[in-house]
Amino acid sequence: MTGTARAATLVAPRRRRGVRLLFFQVAALSRSARERLATPERSEGVWLFLKCVLVALAGAAACNGAHDGREVVVGSKGFTESVILGEMVAALARGAGVRVEHRRQLGGTEVVFRALETGAVDVYPEYTGTLTREILRNEAAGRPLADVLAGHGLRMSQPLGFDNSYALAMTEARAAALGIRRISDLVAHPELRLVFSNEVMNRGDGWPGLRAHYGLPHEARGMDHDLAYRALASGGADVMDVYTTDAEIRAYALRVLTDDRQFFTRYDAVLLYRADLPARAPAVLAAIDRLQGRIDNPTMIALNARAKLDRVPESEVAAGFLAARVGGAVAAPREHVLASIARRAAEHSALVGLSLLAAIALAVPLGVVAARRPRIGRVVVGAAGLLQTIPSLALLVLLIPLLGIGSPPAVAALFLYGLLPIVRNTHAGLVGIPESLQISARALGLPARARLRLVELPLAMPFIVAGIKTSAVIAVGTATVGALVGAGGFGQPILTGIRLDDFGLILQGAVPAAVMAMGLEALLGAVERRVVPRGLRPPR
Amino acid sequence: MELRLAGVTKRYGAGVAVDGIDLTFASGRTTALLGPSGCGKSTVLRLLLALATPEAGEISVDGRPLPAHDIEALRRRIGYVIQDGGLFPHLTAAENVTLMARYLRWDPTRAAKRLQELATLTRFPADALARYPNELSGGQAQRVAIMRALLLDPEVLLLDEPLSALDPLVRTELRDDLRGIFRSFGKTVIVVTHDVGEAAHLADVVVLMRAGRVVQQGPFATLAAAPADAFVTAFLATGNGTRVPEPRG
């Protein structure tokens, strides 16, 4: 069977399962929230409506080319090493004839791990130390890691070969001059000046533990990581903490000291994948196997340096390594800069457009209800305000179990953020209608719904449109955060640019986003001139 | 249409707006509700439109109590011009007048014909029909409000201080026009005013009110010739109610 044919037979049942799961989860969430809050009967309808909107949004966004529709989805975290490894897995899977999508630089461990658990991602690179110390720290104690993972429906490959843990480093020249190779060698040199990043200075398993473990006589100082490299290079300090695969180790010609008494936890790189992957895509698993034990620390440092310091795209770094050492990889097709800007513009517009339309559809009726029933109004406006205070990354992470990764959680988050300005302005616009106009409308013999349609909403229109404008501009800006959960858009180059310290790349995202915000503002201004009659505009 | 209030009381918060009032507005007559500001005149109009609910007493239309439901149908049989005109700023003069025609899905030619009739009746310039309320003069705005109230050819017309916001010259002109309109309208009209001259000029019957009660009612000549008490004398003498002292105790 060819890869494409297999993809076609495999994708259909998966998608159905995903949608069913989604419905179940949404229902469960709303049920538990209802029980927790013991909401009065009246808000039942609002909940139902919200539920429908979320499901509809997720459906729409999923059709919009989200996590389904590909046979295998590779994930990676938002730092260069993870992206390179993700590119390797993707290239090998592609070489095995499987349709692959690489959701690169997702916004952190929590995001990717949840995405893997929910099936939005099939495989991603992880570190054993992160699993035992961070993600699974409550269950990992005293049990084999593989067993704990099996409980989550996950498996782990053999180590890839390198260990990206904390370590101490010195310049090669100074270390050679003093004959220092191991951390225990430092004991004989109390005159050395040690500088550590703040997290290492303060954590129990950082400097205080290290000092006690080795009996080091030194006093250490806290220093920013980037400054510490420069301090070592200029001779202002002698020893610093590093990650053992930092590209800067090559750039600054540092010697990593051996942790001869095994103080630091090992952070062996592995590939984490779903337990159903071998059955679904055995070719991918075979490809993964070929990476095991192939990348040692010097190799990874060199690869990181190629991407980070030499500015070679991660896909090329990965392809170069695979061609030389592994073979059987197929590189992703390269995209022209303009084509990628156009694609991101399309993704960004879809995020903003979809969420804004949904926000209008819910917020205007909510504003009407709020204006009609002052007590409900206070609750609704308060709740919308509360949503606004949730940090965007936290909201996205909360939405992942519900909606997976990609555009659905991003659209849902933008939708929730878009509610407040529209609800508040609709409410204010309706409440502010002069009493004599409200009475006149009633005295004419117009029933409530007709009053709303013919008199009240048109009178509130300038306020409503102003609220929509505010929401739209907020959405264009906030949508850049969607890149953290793999939603694409202009946030993607911004994230990459920040990661690689590449100002040009940041501008490739920031400038079009600003242009889009201004364009949308102008577009809505034109809409405003159409829907707000001359009689309501301020006199010229 | 005959409108009747029997023993009607309406309170707003602690104050009494209308205090056990008995009033009958006979079909085809023009009545002026006269009195100092805050005496409950405007409340009477709102009670008749079921825009306010009385705490006591009964309001009836043609002998039948105000319906609890389908109040909209009743309101469409009554035209109402609120104190400042109440024109909708998002609609042009023509759209204000024909709003109910739009709601009731009248044929556009029928609505246009009715608009023409009303503009002629109220002497409203045809070229100003396309203007928005903020582009109209005070007198023009009042004429639009009256046209809007008359669109459905109601059996009753209620006007709340239709002239108070106008400057004196325009006021006199519109007052004369109003009299002509009421004559040709030939139905029940109730005008709320605090101006004795207006009441005398416009109404067949004057109802003089004070602190939520009726002090005296009848043709203006009767009130002038045989005032019921000193308040009536004083109120009629000042020409308007603003300088008449409230009763003490």
Write the residue in A446, A447, A535 that is nearest to B89 by C-beta.
A535
Write the residue in A436, A443, A459 that is nearest to B75 by C-beta.
A443
Averaged over A284-300, what is the pLDDT?
Answer: 90
Segment of A102-111, A195-204, A208-217 carrying the highest mean pLDDT = A208-217
B12 touching A (Cβ < 8 Å):
no
Residue B185: pLDDT over 60: yes
Tens-place pLDDT, residues B207-219: 999 989 999 999 9
B76 touching A (Cβ < 8 Å):
yes
Segment of A247-256, A361-370, B36-45 carrying the highest mean pLDDT = A361-370
Residue B100: pLDDT over 60: yes
H or E element at residue A514: helix A503-531
Closest to A246 measured CA to CA, from A226, A222, A220, A218: A226
Tokens found for residue A492: 């993607």
Tens-place pLDDT, residues A353-377: 999 999 999 999 999 999 999 898 8
Write the residue in B83, B90, B152 that is nearest to A436 by C-beta.
B83
Cα atoms found within 13 Å of the Cα of residue B77, Cβ hemisphere only: 14
From B44's Cα to the closest Cα of chain A, the distance in A is 14
Residue B179: pLDDT over 50: yes
Closest to B211 measured CA to CA, from B50, B65, B36: B36
Beta-carbon contacts of B140 under 8 Å, excluding residues fewer than 6 positions away, are B93, B124, B125, B128
Cβ count within 10 A of residue A394: 11
User: How confident is residue A56, by pLDDT bands cut at 50, 70 and 90?
Assistant: low
Cβ count within 10 A of residue B73: 10
Q: Are strands A123-127 and A154-156 parallel, antiparallel or unpaired?
A: unpaired
How many beta-carbon pairs under 8 angstroms link A with B?
Answer: 71
Tens-place pLDDT, residues A89-139: 999 988 888 889 899 888 778 889 988 998 889 999 999 988 888 888 888
Which positions in chain A touch B78 (Cβ < 8 Å)?
443
Per-residue pLDDT, B34: 93
Averaged over A247-257, what is the pLDDT?
Answer: 91
- Which of the two residues, B236 and B98, has the higher pLDDT score? B98
Per-residue pLDDT, A485: 87
What is the rounded CA–CA span in Å between residue B51 and residue A345?
54
- Any idea which of A5-19, A255-269, A291-305 has the lowest mean pLDDT? A5-19
**Model ipTM value:** 0.91
B82 touching A (Cβ < 8 Å):
yes
User: How confident is residue B66, by pLDDT bands cut at 50, 70 and 90?
Assistant: confident
CB contact (8 A) between residue B75 and residue A539 = no
SS3 of residue B215 by DSSP? strand
Tokens found for residue B15: 């104050």
User: How confident is residue A27, by pLDDT bands cut at 50, 70 and 90?
Assistant: very low
B52 touching A (Cβ < 8 Å):
no
End-to-end Cα distance, chain B: 39
SS3 of residue A446 by DSSP? coil
Per-residue pLDDT, A40: 36
Per-residue pLDDT, B113: 96
User: How confident is residue A213, by pLDDT bands cut at 50, 70 and 90?
Assistant: very high
A538: nearest CA partner in chain B: B134
Averaged over B66-71, what is the pLDDT?
Answer: 78
From B232's Cα to the closest Cα of chain A, the distance in A is 31
CB contact (8 A) between residue A445 and residue B73 = yes
Per-residue pLDDT, A49: 53
Residue A64: pLDDT over 50: no
CB contact (8 A) between residue A535 and residue B133 = yes
Per-residue pLDDT, B249: 40
From B233's Cα to the closest Cα of chain A, the distance in A is 34
Per-residue pLDDT, A51: 54
Residue B2: pLDDT over 90: no
Instruction: Label residue A41 exposed, middle or buried (CB < 10 Å: 0-12, 13-18, 19+).
Output: exposed
Closest to A113 measured CA to CA, from A157, A165, A163, A75: A75
**DSSP category for residue A538:** P
Suggest the residue from A439, A446, A461, A536 to mutate for an interface test with chain B (most B CBs closer than 10 A). A439
CB contact (8 A) between residue B89 and residue A536 = yes
A440: nearest CA partner in chain B: B86
Per-residue pLDDT, A17: 33
**Average per-residue pLDDT for chain A:** 84
CB contact (8 A) between residue A455 and residue B134 = no
Per-residue pLDDT, A14: 32
Helices within B5-137 (DSSP H only): 41-48, 71-76, 93-97, 99-103, 108-121
What is the rounded CA–CA span in Å between residue A196 and residue A194?
7
Residue A50: pLDDT over 80: no
User: How confident is residue A55, by pLDDT bands cut at 50, 70 and 90?
Assistant: low
Per-residue pLDDT, B247: 52
pLDDT above 70 as % of chain A:
87
H or E element at residue A233: helix A225-234
Tokens found for residue A250: 């090559």
DSSP state letters, A219-272 = -EEE--HHHHHHHHHHTS-SEEEEETT-THHHHTTEEEPB-TT--SPP-BEEEE
Per-residue pLDDT, A36: 34
- Which of the two residues, A442 and A35, has the higher pLDDT score? A442
Per-residue pLDDT, A48: 54
From A538's Cα to the closest Cα of chain B, the distance in A is 10
CB contact (8 A) between residue A443 and residue B100 = no
Averaged over B5-14, what is the pLDDT?
Answer: 89
- Residue B30's beta-bridge partner residues? B189
Averaged over A193-222, what is the pLDDT?
Answer: 88
Tens-place pLDDT, residues A387-402: 889 888 888 888 888 8
User: How confident is residue A38, by pLDDT bands cut at 50, 70 and 90?
Assistant: very low
Residue A241: pLDDT over 80: yes
CB contact (8 A) between residue B83 and residue A437 = no
User: How confident is residue B170, by pLDDT bands cut at 50, 70 and 90?
Assistant: confident
Residue B245: pLDDT over 60: no
Question: Is the Cα torsion angle A112, A113, A116, A122 positive or negative in sign?
Answer: positive
B144 touching A (Cβ < 8 Å):
no
- The model carries a pTM of 0.75
Amino acid sitting at position A256: V
B170 touching A (Cβ < 8 Å):
no
Per-residue pLDDT, A67: 40
CB contact (8 A) between residue B51 and residue A442 = yes
**Average per-residue pLDDT for chain B:** 89
Averaged over A440-445, what is the pLDDT?
Answer: 95
User: How confident is residue A26, by pLDDT bands cut at 50, 70 and 90?
Assistant: very low
From B180's Cα to the closest Cα of chain A, the distance in A is 23
